[in-house]
A and B are shown apart, each in its own frame.
Chain A
Amino acid sequence: MDIWLPENVSTFGQGVDNLFILIYWITLIAFILVTATLIAFLILYRHRPGHKATYIEGSTKLEITWTTATTVIVFGLALLSYPQWNRIKSPTELPPADVVVEVSAKQFNWDMTYPGPDGEFDTEDDLQLENQLHVPVDKIVHIRLTSVDVIHSFFVPNLRLKQDTLPNRFITVWFEATKPGRFEIPCAELCGFQHSGMLGYLTVHSQADYDAWKAERWPPQ
């Protein structure tokens, strides 16, 4: 059984995973060092008859050392995260869209609205599907997220993408899938009694498949 991150299929996902793995190693090493020190101290300085504890009140030099070291590490991590975060979430760095889909969350479904052949929303040829998100591979997809009732959260584990949806507000997120396949879109924010089981599917098509799907589902009427 796989007990690590699920397969990543988005262009920015690797950046998230790299940061995750970096933090994993930093925290693992920190944990091992601290725990090893702790255990060593517990063994070395256990109470033995005749031995007395040494009176040490502290050490300013050490305090400064570990304060600086921790500050440097956490600041370094913060610096590494800025570009990744902005790339995924910043509205100013949003890459231009090849495909736009409107996703409206409601208790307990994802309503996916496609603009239809005219490329415009709120026109007659819009296509509405429940829980089925179809996108082409290697294309930049914009998802305009909203909700009709409470807060939900659009979560695609394989894309490393998560964004809460808010009623009466549109939030645009983007992704570019790197591999065709079918992936799950659970709701990640408690949204009511059937929150568990609120589930959509993302189907990433190869360009040819996508065109075929479009031809079938977006017939010019």
Chain B
Amino acid sequence: MQDNENKSHENDNDEHHLPANGDNGTESHDHDHDHDHDHDHDHVHDHDHDHDHDHAHNHEESFISKYIFSLDHKMIGKQFLLYGLIMFFVGGGLALLFRWQLAYPERPVPIIGASQQYIDDGEVVTAADRMWEKIFDSDKEEWLEVNMPSGVIEPAFYNMLFTMHATIMVFFVVVPILVGAFGNFLIPLMIGTRDMAFPVLNMLSFWLAVLAAIIMTAGFFVPGGHAAAGWTGYAPLSADPQWTGVDWGQNLWAISLLIQGFSSLVGSINYITTVINMRAPGMTFFRLPLVIWSLFIVAILLLLAFPVLSSALALLIFDRLAGTTFFSSTAEGGGDPLLWQHLFWFFGHPEVYILILPGMGIASEILPVFSRKPIFGYHSMVYAMITIAFMGWIVWGHHMFQSGMQPGLGTFFMTTTMLIAVPSAIKTFNWLGTLFRGSIRFTTPMLHGIAFVSMFVIGGLSGIYMANTPVDIYIHDTYYIVAHIHYVVFGGSLFAIFGGIIYWFPKMYGRHMNDTLSKIHFWLTFIAFNCTFFPMHILGVGGHMRRISNPMQYEFLQGFQGINIFITMSAFTLGFAQLILLYNFFWSMARGKVAEKNPWNVTTLEWEAPTPVPHGNFAQIPTVYRGPYEYSVPGEESDWIPQAQPEHAPATGGD
């Protein structure tokens, strides 16, 4: 905290640490204003190249300061993106493991399930044995014996798998990518400033997140295994090792989330300060692009929600390590198991909106650009997001209708929850309104944007069932809720993430992603996603409980095994499709088609910066003259007017 003061002075005089821009500032100034939108490719290119050259000369950054402990918001954003993508494959891999168990209970997992002979005698029989032999020392065969004897997933291991799948996806994939990657990359660029308010804190935020991820992953290899109480960690199951047999795994889970909480805290302080204080001249709040609004609101939610989880985690750690009984009512003078649920969901429901709001923001960028139309109802979009953020604080009890909470409270929470459907509906109608009488280009980001809207519709509508208390009695804790959360967070957030990656990739890496591969990835993902998660609604209506490792143990679920197998096959396809994304991502980074400065003809400020964006972003801080969605303005020759284009200037760009 102490050096905040110095930092703020530095930021007051940005050009101090930007000698490169200071030197050629006037020169590039001319370039910008004369040739910005005339599609003179070569010229723009030259200019960028020069700029880069100078840049490299004046900024002799070492590899470590440029790529590892970077203070540049763009690099930190890319670091978060990579981090999130790596964790995405970890979390997805865990899901595939337990999907196998659900489809073929008690059967050895193919490819990675080691044979019992290997576990017993260390004798390599199968290819899987050979793989484990390479990964593990011989003494780690014990780990296989405990978790996957004969290659079959043990029930306790199954619990760890789904616990970590959800924990990783929520805390280490969706939030880091949406908030960490897009937030970092986009906020300074889109509000027109040189960097975040506190670059050092920004770097700290990333490295704390890395530390949290390492601790979380390490939990699999401690004695007793990893946390197995679900991502919601309901006490007393999570509060006392005797109930799960999990000792340090659960502790590491809690500690890792505490660290992740610090990372979010630091990040959100940075985001909020930056958005409030560092907007370019003319960039009023109601000229902010919606994605910035969403990230700003999400930063406030993270700031206020995460400390509540931290308080609950602290109490949990005391229960586990210091012998307190905050969450166990069985002991003398004991506490209240429902307290954990109240604290967790008081954090958890805002967290759900943290997961979806930036997705809504990204969709609200992509849809107008590729419809060549202003977003429909900009102000109502903003107010809807603010309403969602406010109401997110008074709906947490809808996770607890069947928990033993007073039924009267259930009625209250049902009413507030039903009301929160209204702003979500408003947003959906506004997206439709954006398409109305547009000129729709079916680019890959647009496909993802449309998928986001339609999947979000399903996720939103299925939420009404659970919000309704009597119906929730039946479908609570069944696959219905699993379907719902995945339609919102995978169908919603992840399609937005994919769309966002492809859309901003040219600005991030200076190249386009391969469009053929992107399209194959999109269609495979879209179809496999629906085949995976839609049938879960049917399972839920049939009463199929979530978090059970073997549905065949129940007579009333045996008829559903066919659906379970179908879901698993689709899930494997879905997982495979993501490998295409991964390949495309890295291949395009090196070999993709070189991108122009503003390939999609977008009005917002990030496209004013040269590509690749230099340190300090803009040669000169742009001035903003209008709102972010001025497309197809009547009487204008061009179908887009950049935010930074001065008033009354003759139309320049576009086609």
Residues of A within 8 A of B (CB): 1-6, 15-16, 19-20, 23, 26-27, 30-31, 34-35, 37-38, 41-42, 45-48, 51-59, 62-63, 66-67, 70-71, 74-75, 77-78, 81-82, 84-86, 88-91, 107, 148-151, 153, 155, 157, 160-169, 171, 184, 186-197, 199
Within 8 A of A (CB), among B362-415: 371-374, 376-380, 402-404, 407-408, 410-411, 414-415
Residues of chain B contacted by A162 (CB below 8 angstroms): 402, 473-474, 476-477
Query: Are B410 and A190 in contact, with the CB atoms below 8 A?
Result: no
Residues of chain A contacted by B469 (CB below 8 angstroms): 81, 84-85, 89
Residues of chain A contacted by B554 (CB below 8 angstroms): 184, 186, 199
Could you list some 21 contacts between A and B, CB below 8 A?
Answer: A2-B559, A19-B470, A19-B471, A31-B461, A53-B639, A55-B632, A58-B380, A66-B426, A74-B421, A74-B422, A77-B464, A81-B414, A162-B474, A168-B329, A184-B554, A190-B234, A192-B243, A193-B244, A194-B155, A196-B550, A199-B554
Query: Are A55 and B378 in contact, with the CB atoms below 8 A?
Result: no
Which one of A30, A56, A81 lies within 8 Å of B437 (CB-CB)?
A56
Query: Are A192 and B237 in contact, with the CB atoms below 8 A?
Result: yes
Query: Are B461 and A27 in contact, with the CB atoms below 8 A?
Result: yes
B600 to chain A, nearest CB (A): 13
Query: Are A66 and B429 in contact, with the CB atoms below 8 A?
Result: yes
Measured between alpha carbons, how far is A67 from B377 in the docked complex, in Å? 13
Closest B residue to A20 by CB, please name it. B471
A175 to chain B, nearest CB (A): 11
Measured between alpha carbons, how far is A164 from B403 in the docked complex, in Å? 5
Measured between alpha carbons, how far is A75 from B415 in the docked complex, in Å? 7
Measured between alpha carbons, how far is A37 from B453 in the docked complex, in Å? 12
Indicate whether B450 reaches chain A with its CB closer than 8 angstroms.
Answer: yes
Using an 8 Å CB-CB cutoff, how does the interface string of B138-180 with A read, 1 for contact, 0 for none? 0000000000000000111011000000000000000000000
Most A-side CB within 10 Å, residue of B408, B422, B432:
B422
Measured between alpha carbons, how far is A95 from B535 in the docked complex, in Å? 38
Measured between alpha carbons, how far is A26 from B438 in the docked complex, in Å? 29
**If A56-B376, A195-B547 touch, does A27 touch B462 (CB 8 Å cutoff)?**
yes
Query: Are B470 and A15 in contact, with the CB atoms below 8 A?
Result: yes
Measured between alpha carbons, how far is A127 from B542 in the docked complex, in Å? 33
Residues of chain A contacted by B503 (CB below 8 angstroms): none
Residues of B within 8 A of A (CB): 154-156, 158-159, 228-230, 234, 236-237, 243-245, 328-330, 334, 337-338, 371-374, 376-380, 402-404, 407-408, 410-411, 414-415, 418-419, 421-422, 425-426, 428-430, 432-433, 435-442, 450, 453-454, 457-458, 461-462, 464-465, 468-471, 473-474, 476-478, 538, 541-543, 545, 547-550, 553-556, 559-560, 562-563, 631-634, 639
**If A57-B374, A107-B243, A188-B545 touch, does A196 touch B468 (CB 8 Å cutoff)?**
no
**If A27-B464, A164-B402, A199-B553 touch, does A91 touch B407 (CB 8 Å cutoff)?**
yes
Measured between alpha carbons, how far is A48 from B442 in the docked complex, in Å? 12
Closest B residue to A31 by CB, please name it. B461
Which one of B154, B245, B334, B473 lies within 8 Å of A89 (CB-CB)?
B473
Residues of chain B contacted by A168 (CB below 8 angstroms): 329-330, 334
Measured between alpha carbons, how far is A50 from B58 in the docked complex, in Å? 48
Residues of chain B contacted by A20 (CB below 8 angstroms): 465, 471, 474
Measured between alpha carbons, how far is A82 from B553 in the docked complex, in Å? 35
**If A47-B441, A150-B243, A188-B476 touch, does A41 touch B432 (CB 8 Å cutoff)?**
yes
**If A45-B371, A85-B414, A86-B407 touch, does A23 touch B464 (CB 8 Å cutoff)?**
yes
Interface SS of chain A: helix, strand, loop or mixed? mixed
Measured between alpha carbons, how far is A164 from B476 in the docked complex, in Å? 11
Residues of chain B contacted by A191 (CB below 8 angstroms): 237
Measured between alpha carbons, how far is A146 from B462 in the docked complex, in Å? 31
Which one of B244, B426, B454, B555 lies within 8 Å of A38 (CB-CB)?
B454
Which one of A47, A107, A171, A189 lies within 8 Å of B440 (CB-CB)?
A47
Query: Are A77 and B473 in contact, with the CB atoms below 8 A?
Result: no
Closest A residue to B543 by CB, please name it. A157
Measured between alpha carbons, how far is A15 from B470 in the docked complex, in Å? 8
Given A1-B560, A193-B244, 14 new contacts (CB under 8 A): A23-B465, A34-B428, A53-B438, A53-B639, A54-B632, A55-B373, A70-B426, A78-B415, A78-B418, A89-B473, A151-B236, A184-B555, A190-B237, A192-B243
Query: Are B559 and A1 in contact, with the CB atoms below 8 A?
Result: yes
Which one of A166, A184, A188 lies within 8 Å of B404 (CB-CB)?
A166
Query: Are B329 and A6 in contact, with the CB atoms below 8 A?
Result: no
Residues of chain B contacted by A89 (CB below 8 angstroms): 407, 410, 469, 473
Measured between alpha carbons, how far is A30 from B634 in the docked complex, in Å? 34
Measured between alpha carbons, how far is A166 from B441 in the docked complex, in Å? 55
Query: Are B229 and A190 in contact, with the CB atoms below 8 A?
Result: yes
Query: Are A63 and B426 in contact, with the CB atoms below 8 A?
Result: yes
Measured between alpha carbons, how far is A155 from B544 in the docked complex, in Å? 11
**If A27-B464, A38-B432 touch, does A66 touch B425 (CB 8 Å cutoff)?**
yes
Closest A residue to B630 by CB, please name it. A55
Query: Are B330 and A78 in contact, with the CB atoms below 8 A?
Result: no
Query: Are A77 and B468 in contact, with the CB atoms below 8 A?
Result: yes
Residues of chain A contacted by B464 (CB below 8 angstroms): 23, 26-27, 74, 77
Measured between alpha carbons, how far is A211 from B471 in the docked complex, in Å? 34
Query: Are B457 and A34 in contact, with the CB atoms below 8 A?
Result: yes
Query: Are B337 and A166 in contact, with the CB atoms below 8 A?
Result: yes
Which one of A5, A34, A88, A161 lies within 8 Å of B541 (CB-CB)?
A5
**If A3-B542, A23-B471, A47-B439 touch, does A167 touch B330 (CB 8 Å cutoff)?**
yes
Report the 6 A-B pairs with minimum CB-CB distance, sorted nearest first: A58-B377, A157-B543, A193-B156, A196-B548, A84-B470, A74-B418
Residues of chain A contacted by B476 (CB below 8 angstroms): 162, 188
Residues of chain B contacted by A77 (CB below 8 angstroms): 418, 464, 468
Query: Are A160 and B473 in contact, with the CB atoms below 8 A?
Result: yes
Query: Are B408 and A45 in contact, with the CB atoms below 8 A?
Result: no
B536 to chain A, nearest CB (A): 12
Which one of B234, B330, B468 lies within 8 Å of A81 (CB-CB)?
B468
A174 to chain B, nearest CB (A): 13
A24 to chain B, nearest CB (A): 8
Residues of chain B contacted by A155 (CB below 8 angstroms): 477, 543, 545
B205 to chain A, nearest CB (A): 32
Measured between alpha carbons, how far is A197 from B547 in the docked complex, in Å? 11
Residues of chain B contacted by A75 (CB below 8 angstroms): 418-419
Residues of chain A contacted by B234 (CB below 8 angstroms): 150-151, 189-190
B284 to chain A, nearest CB (A): 16
Measured between alpha carbons, how far is A169 from B330 in the docked complex, in Å? 10
**If A16-B470, A46-B440, A85-B470 touch, does A53 touch B372 (CB 8 Å cutoff)?**
yes
A171 to chain B, nearest CB (A): 5
Measured between alpha carbons, how far is A187 from B477 in the docked complex, in Å? 10
Residues of chain B contacted by A82 (CB below 8 angstroms): 411
